[in-house]
Chain A
Amino acid sequence: MQDDQNPILTLRDVKTYFPVKAGIFKRTVAHVKAVDGVSLDIYRGEVLGLVGESGCGKTTLGKTILRLVEATDGDITYSSKNEKTNLAGLNNEEMLPFRKRLQIVFQDPHSSLNPAFTIFGSLQDPLKKYGIKSRKERRKIIGDLLESVNMRREYMDRYPHEFSGGQRQRIGIARALSVEPELIVCDEAVSALDVSIQAQVLQLLMKLKNERNLTYLFITHDLSVTEYICDRIAVMYLGRIVELCRAEELYSNTLHPYTEALLSAIPVADLDKQTKRIVLEGDVPSPVNPPSGCPFHPRCHKAIDVCKTQVPDLKSYNANGAEHFASCHLIDLPETT
């Protein structure tokens, strides 16, 4: 299972900025700071949840890890048994062997499959790229993959429109699995699905993880789902991680006021567990021009003067025997180093 000493990916101060261009010469006038200094370890065999509101940079972070979006600054270190590679410095050709180890499942199963290709057509490309020359062998591999995501082999000759949303999402998972990756980024992989189908896909993801010893970065806005499947959860706000700890810890011992508000805002399908919601005023501020000091202070109900001027660091606290990271000036706990 989870191996604390053995990170598969280490992010150090990763920044992804998108330029905002204006004027006839398209000069860069500002930057959208989508990811603004994220440091994170993803351990081998764990499910790390990444939660936050829309626009907080969680999808950009996922794409930055896979180099689908270029990082502006920072290190993304991939560690295998005996070597460490900084992915941020590689060119396309050097990146190729790593693309095989890092895969992604996209949010919208309707737009992530090419409607003009059969399932076999869509799924055979990565196999071809990574050296499986014989068509017969490719058909066998894809058939096995479809069976492992609880679908029939014959479905490989059908087109995407013949499948329901849940089935298409399972095809997306099969595609990610086809090159035998070690880490899969699940970008809102179950959000577009109906509730009864969502549970099927979640259980499938857990089954595959145990069978193939996978690591997931599970990006979602749904905290009930993260609590169910994640080992650790990172909460993002405006391009930064504001809290990171074990899943049970996040719910039982919430440190950051944003996480607190987020948790209280979720409608709970249990009549005995209705709590008073903390209503946050306003919207997420623009990442082009984030507020000074703590990015959360304009909406925070606990904000004090220091929050307006100083950006709090992500500090480590010891809570119930495990590390608990949070970035808030108001936490009154002894720090660990």
Chain B
Amino acid sequence: MPRTQDVALSVKNLKTYFYTNNRCNKAVNGVSFEIRKGKTLCIVGESGCGKSVTASTIMQLLPALSRIEQGQVTYHSDSGDVHIEKLQRDGKEMRAIRGSEIAMIFQDPMTALNPVYTIGFQIGESLKYHTDLSTKEIREKTIDLLRGMGISLPEMRVDDYPHSYSGGMRQRAMIAMAMSCNPKILIADEPTTALDVTIQSQIFELMDKLKAENETAIMLITHDMGVVAELADDVAVMYMGNIVEAGTVDQVLRHPVHPYTRALLKSIPVLGRGRNQDIQPIAGSTPDPYDRPIGCQFAPRCKHRIEACDVMPQEVTFNGTQRVMCWRYKEFLPDAG
């Protein structure tokens, strides 16, 4: 286990449920993980697996029909631990943390920015609420932030509206906004999914720089295994509201033991392996969240299914830091052949 002072945020057995039409969607159904200072935790999964809900839960940005049912989200701030799940959604304490201590980058910069305010105003807003800087200082800081993000002529572009920025520049403006108060934790929810690969690599370069310079803990949500291999220190693979496998990037990508992680890695074409790579699609599709399998959520699509899979497997920790939820994981360990 990592020493506690290295941990920026820990989540324990978190359950977030949504209630609509008298039905309950257990979107996040008991996940635990830790984000370490100066490290990147990647959460991977397909759409609907609960990765974005986990992020919204940490930020307390959930819609009204949802509830944190159980579990703890603990933010280890410099002045002691804060139990985020106990705070009021719109309360003073949560608003003080949101944006200044924990910041978030959203997937789609087109919809996350307000089209009727200038970029400079929107970046300066969080500085206005969280710091004592004067209007003039805020403007200078905003220009500095934009320059740091590699936007040319920041003195002029600071007064532009979002529509005159390109997709990549908007995303950089979003990162500038998130980084404005030097947050301890940065949550990035698919920050580059809507961008081209060349712009994506610019954004990754920036995030690497922030991590190295400010010791920011990053939680990166993605569905791209390539991004994981490139950026992650730790990985958590989610499926239908559970973390089915977690560990360091070496452990999970080199020796995956959960059948879902293994299948996922086999189903994607990898650049440089040519035409003769053996791609095996995962059969079927993700189940309806209102009509879930009773036991292991992946069982209906799993090739290694046995009778025991009708009961939800317990989480097992091995090799120090690797965790898995599978009855048969031992058979897939590297030394088991």
Contact = CB atoms under 8 A, between A and B. Distances in A.
Contacts, number: 141
A197 B196 contact: no
Contact of A267 (B227, B267, B274): B227
B223 to A, nearest CB: 6
B166 A224 contact: no
B272 interface: yes
A274 to B, nearest CB: 7
A266 B201 CA distance: 8
B281 interface: yes
Name the interface size band of chain B.
35 or more
Contacts of A274: 229-230
B269 A224 contact: yes
Contact of B205 (A164, A203, A277): A277
B271 A251 contact: yes
B279 interface: yes
Interface string B147-172: 00010100000000000001111000
Contacts of B229: 267-271, 274
B336 interface: no
B140 to A, nearest CB: 24
B198 interface: yes
Contacts of A265: 197-198, 200-201
A167 B250 CA distance: 34
Nearest to A53: B196
A100 B173 CA distance: 47
Interface string B193-218: 00011111110110000000000000
A5 B225 CA distance: 40
Contact of A224 (B47, B226, B228): B226
Nearest to B47: A194
Contacts of B199: 53, 283
Contact of B169 (A200, A223, A273, A283): A283
Given A194-B46, A195-B268, A271 B200 contact: no
Nearest to B224: A267
A265 B226 CA distance: 11
A246 to B, nearest CB: 10
Contact of A269 (B167, B196, B228): B228
B285 A166 contact: yes
Contacts of A303: none
B3 interface: no
B275 A268 contact: no
B268 A268 contact: no
B275 A263 contact: no
A223 B274 CA distance: 11
A190 B269 CA distance: 13
Given A267-B230, A283-B166, A261 B275 contact: no
B333 interface: no
The 3 closest A-B pairs by CB, nearest first: A267-B226, A228-B269, A269-B225
16 contacts: A164-B285, A196-B46, A196-B267, A197-B285, A199-B268, A199-B280, A224-B268, A227-B271, A262-B197, A268-B229, A268-B271, A270-B273, A271-B254, A277-B205, A283-B166, A283-B169
Given A197-B285, A270-B272, 11 more contacts: A164-B285, A195-B46, A195-B223, A202-B269, A228-B277, A262-B197, A262-B198, A266-B271, A267-B230, A269-B253, A277-B204
